Structures are given as structure tokens and as C-alpha cells.
Amino acid sequence: MQGTSWAFAVWVSGTMTDARSPEQPGETLLTAVEPLSANPRSLRYRAIAIWLLGFAALAGAATWGYMRYRAPSSEPIAVPLHTVERSTVELTVTSGGTLALGGQQTLKSPQNEATVEQVLVEVRTLVEAGQPLLILRDRSNEREVRSQQVEIQKIQLDLNRNQEKVTEVEQRVAAAIEQYQESQELAAQGFISEDEVREDENDLDRVRSELKDAQLTVIKSELDLKTAAETLDLLEQQFNDRVITSPIEGVVLEVQVSAGEAIATDKSLLTLGDPTQEIVNLQLSTLDAAKVSLNQPARIRAIGPDAQDFDGRVVALAPQALSASNGGGSSQEGQARVTAQVKLDSASQALIPGSFVSVDIITEQQKDVLVVPPEAIQRDQGEPFVWIRNQRGNATQQPIELGLQGLDLVAVTEGLNVGDQIALVPPTMTVTPGMPLSDSPAFPIPEEFDQ
């Protein structure tokens, strides 16, 4: 631009030199010292020359300023850079719940006003199904069992006596039948009267009636014996209930009674569960529950730093929401909640039953896709783009097509390649095409800490 201005000045000087006054041929115009009474034609040439010189100077300054504005800065702008790579993008529902073992349950006393006679296990004891856990003692139940046993013995004796009586009456019936038959034969031969025959017939009827009564007494005794035996079975079952056995194979988590302690019906005795299964009980909001379905994958972790993730799946989801007032458990500000369960794929051997854990239920997922951080995406009239640092280290605006948009990562379906370096431009910074870029930490470390 400076060369152009110089050439233009030479052209103007030549023009002024060729402008001659008619009165003084060959004399060069001197605009700076020409008297006011100069020839009008000379004054016109001077004005044109001055105007052209001013326009040339203004055009040169404008061109120089524009070229300086468009020229790349010699010092690059420091912005955090991110290398494009393939990863997984997820949409999740995050909740928290209490960890429990599979089949976890609290056993309760089946008896009223019993006493703990003996505790056979302690916390962390591994037990098998059917293994005795503790023994209860109920004095009144023991007395009832013994009393019923005596009652059965009495009924059995009565039954035996009644059966013997039936046998005796049956013999008498047989004898009465034989006597009646003989009387009929003798009456037919004329040896006895008809009155004697009728008397033997009446004796036979009377003995037969006694036999029926004796048989009914035996039946009644048998029914009494059966009823007494059923009552004894019930009492013995109650007596056997004093031995509390394990319903599952598992581990004892808590023992809530001690030997010699008096307990009532439904008193909690101990808690146990299956350590090979771990389940998280959740209370989801209705908005989150609408996104969740059975068998969706999930990640479970303890609350705290450097917590390990464990994989699991949704195994239960209530069909309706319940509030705290109608049995839905605890809720925030009375909002209805949906009960759900997530089961770990395998036992963690690290999470503690009863502890509060965090659960991420994965509702949507795209694997092995190009991803960028959400803060790298900018928009131009609604169209997404990112700033790329090209091979020369300068900024290039690159339009992109977005896929699944997660909380931490966004999938890019078109516009980027693995290894591209994109700039994470903060909102307070302006980047223009061609601007040199250099990498800087997303969160610069103060000098006093970087020593």
C-alpha cells in the first residue's frame, strides 16, 4: 500500500509540473508560494492536486488499518483444547436408595409372652436353610402340651373300654339270636307256647339296641380322640415354634434379642439375608419413573470420594405412585413416589447393607461415537459449530451435526474426525477465523500452587 501511495504522489507531481502558465511558458507551478493573483487555471490545478493527495492519504490509512485487523496476531490466544475421541453418551436417571441383601428379612416371635432361652448365632454367622437360630421358652405352652397328652390317654382308655363293651354285647346278641331260633323250633313242635317265643324275641331286640348304643359310644370316643390328637398337634407345633430356624441360606446381619429376655408376639428377633445378592430400594419421582423400565442397566456406587462403580439392572418397578400418607414411605414435601429395585449383577463384597448408595439408571445410550464436551458447542443462527485448531494452529469454524446429548458429553454424527482439536471457548472470549490458538488448562493453576 505504501508503494501505491508513492506512485500516486509521483503522478500528481508530474501533472503539476506539466501545468504551465500562458504568460510564463516552462515555469513549474509552485502551489505553496503562488500569489493569490495567480491565473485561475493554475488555482484549479492546485485544488485538484490537493484533493487527490488527501484522498490518497485517507485510502492508504484505511487500507493499512483493515489489513492490520485481518492479519493474524503474532501471539496465539490461550484456550483449553479438547481432542475428539470415541466414547459412550448416556442419558440417566439419578437417584439414591438403601442397599439390602437378597431375601433380607427380619424374623419375629410367633409366641406371646415367651422368654429367649438360647441364642445360637451371632452377627456375620453364615447359616443354612433350616438351621436353628435361637430357642424360646413358654411355660404355659409346655403345661398345655402335658395336659393334652393326659387328656388323650384318658380318651384312649375310654375308647378301649367301649370297644370291649361292644364285643361283649355282640356276644350277647349272638346268644340271643341262637335262643330265639331254638324257641321258634320248639314252638313249631308244640313244646313251648307262643308267649315264650315272643319273650325271647324281645330279649333279642333289647340286646341289639344295646349293641347299637355301644357302637355309637365307640364312634364318639374315636372322634374325641381324633380331636384331642389335633389339639395336641397344634400345641406341639406351638411348642416346636420355640426353635426359630433360618428360612434361607445367608448371613446374620443383626441379633435383636439376648438370652433371658422376655418377648411378646411379633417381637423382632434377628435379621438375615443372602450375601450373594444385593438390591437397592429406590423411591423415584413420577417424572423419573416415567423414563425407567424393567431390565434397564444401572450403575451403583457408594457415597464418597473415589467410589467404585458396580453394574446392575432394574428388576422391579411399581405400577403406581404412592405418597407417604398411603404407604409410599418417605417423600419430599408430600410428593408421590414410585418404588423401584435395582439388583447388582454380582455381589460387590464392598457395599454395606443398610448404607445409602447412588444409582444411575441408564435410560438411553450410544456407544463408540464421536463425542465433545457440551461447552465446546456454539451456535450461529441456531446451527451448531465448534472452533477447530487447524494444522497451522489457527482457529477454523467447523459446522457439526449433533446426536444424543448427555449431561457430560454430546455425540457428533458429522463434521469431526478422531484426533481433531477443538477449542473450549469461554463465554467471555471472542474467537475469529484465522486467530492463532494455543492450549491452556481448563482451570489454570495459580503460580503459588504450581511450584
> Mind listing the pLDDT tens digit of every residue in the chain (451 residues)?
444 444 444 444 444 444 444 444 444 444 444 444 456 666 777 778 787 887 777 877 777 655 555 555 457 888 999 999 999 999 999 999 999 999 999 999 876 678 888 999 999 999 999 999 998 877 666 677 788 889 999 999 999 999 999 999 999 999 999 998 988 888 888 888 888 888 988 999 999 999 999 999 999 999 999 999 998 888 777 666 578 899 999 999 999 999 989 888 888 999 999 999 999 999 999 999 999 999 999 999 998 888 899 999 999 999 999 886 555 554 455 689 999 999 999 999 889 999 999 999 999 999 999 999 999 999 999 999 999 999 999 999 999 999 999 989 999 999 999 999 999 998 888 899 999 998 887 544 444 434 4
Long-range contacts of 427-430 (CB under 8 A, 24+ apart): 429/77, 429/79
The pairing of beta strand 114-119 with beta strand 132-137: antiparallel
**Residue position matching grid coordinates 440417566:** 92
Q: Map out the domains of the chain as residue ranges.
A: 2-70, 77-87+367-449, 94-102+262-365, 139-241
With beta carbons less than 8 A apart as the criterion, state whether 120 and 134 touch: yes
In the Cβ-directed half-sphere of 289, how many Cα atoms lie within 13 Å? 18
CA gap 126, 251 in Å, rounded: 4
pLDDT for 449: 36
Backbone angles phi, psi at 265, to 5 degrees: -60, 140
pLDDT for 447: 45
CA gap 434, 69 in Å, rounded: 11
What the block records as the C-alpha cell of 191 is 313244646
Q: To which H or E segment does residue 320 belong?
A: none
Q: Which CATH number fits domain 77-87+367-449: 2.40.420.20, 3.30.70.270, 2.40.50.140, 2.60.120.260?
A: 2.40.420.20
DSSP 192: S
What is the distance, to the nearest Å, from the Cα of residue 158 to the centroid of all Cα atoms in its chain? 68
Query: What CATH superfamily is the domain 94-102+262-365?
Result: Efflux pump adaptor protein, beta barrel domain (2.40.30.170)
What is the distance, to the nearest Å, from the Cα of residue 399 to the centroid of all Cα atoms in its chain? 37
Alpha-carbon distance values, 138 to 23, 110, 134, 246, 267 (Å): 149, 11, 14, 20, 14
